[in-house]
């Protein structure tokens, strides 16, 4: 079984348990920066990535991970894929930890930051690969999708809402940086692709 499928299974099991079996799992698992800074519950930077706000939230994250995770896992190898995923969880939590550290009512959940790290790692390695979105029958080059996604997230992050756009942005940027910094030959790969375009 691939590590991508193990991560999906873990997300599904923990999220369903938190949503339908024990609200305490949800409460203890969510990321509450106010609590983390004062009670040293640093595990929340990881645990919050395994609980989701609802079935739609869980499905969207796991659907994305299912399609892009295996390709990236095969390209990077087990070590870098796992490191990217879990470091993506932590890095994508940092904006919340900084901007909401004094708000006792703020909480956030979901694997979105880690999933965006995986997605943007894929985009960096396969920028011309076509991505198909639901209800849109035409393929969009991965790099174009990435640009639109980041642009929308930056715009949406200025407003109020329940979606943690800052985590999406941080996760996406980290997906690019992780490959460039830690994965050998990434820059050579990009230069080769640019020469082919």
Question: What phi, psi does 159 have (nearest 5°)?
Answer: -100, 180
pLDDT band at 197 (very low <50, low <70, confident <90, very high): low
Average pLDDT estimate for 8-25: 97
- pLDDT, residue 134, reads 72
Query: What's the whole-number average pLDDT of the chain?
Result: 93
Distance CA(158)–CA(155), nearest Å, equals 6
- More confident site: 146 or 197: 146
The DSSP string of 36-101 is HHHH--TTHHHHGGG--SSHHHHHHHHHHHHHHHHHHHHHH-HHHHHHHHHHHHHHHHHHHHHHTT
Beta-carbon count within 10 A of 188 CB: 9
pLDDT digits (tens, 9 = 90+) for 106-153: 999 999 999 999 999 999 999 999 998 877 778 899 999 999 999 999
Q: What pTM was estimated for this model as a whole? A: 0.93
pLDDT digits (tens, 9 = 90+) for 52-100: 999 999 999 999 999 999 999 999 999 999 999 999 999 999 999 999 9
Whether the pLDDT of residue 163 is over 70: the answer is yes
Whether the pLDDT of residue 35 is over 70: the answer is yes
CATH topology of domain 3-196: Rhomboid-like fold (1.20.1540)
Q: Is 18 helix (H, G, I), strand (E, B) or coil?
A: helix
Q: Tokens in use for 96? A: 């919340």
CB 34 within 8 A of CB 99: no
């Amino acid at each position: 079984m691939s590590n991508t499928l193990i991560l999906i299974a873990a997300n599904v099991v923990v999220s369903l348990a938190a949503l339908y079996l024990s609200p305490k799992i949800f409460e203890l698992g969510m990321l509450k920066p106010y609590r983390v800074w004062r009670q040293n519950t640093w595990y929340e930077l990881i645990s919050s990535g395994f609980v989701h706000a609802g079935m739609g939230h869980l499905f969207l994250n796991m659907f994305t991970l299912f399609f892009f995770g295996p390709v990236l896992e095969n390209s990077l190898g087990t070590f870098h894929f796992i490191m990217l995923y879990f470091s993506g969880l932590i890095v994508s939590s940092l904006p919340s930890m900084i901007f909401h550290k004094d708000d006792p009512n703020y909480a956030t959940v979901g694997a979105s930051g880690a999933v965006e790290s995986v997605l943007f790692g894929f985009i960096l390695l396969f920028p011309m690969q076509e991505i198909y979105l639901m209800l849109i029958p035409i393929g969009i080059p991965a790099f174009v999708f990435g640009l639109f996604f980041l642009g929308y997230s930056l715009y949406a992050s200025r407003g109020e809402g329940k979606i943690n756009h800052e985590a999406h942005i941080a996760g996406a940027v980290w997906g690019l940086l992780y490959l460039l910094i830690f994965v050998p030959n990434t820059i050579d790969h990009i230069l080769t692709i640019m020469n082919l375009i």
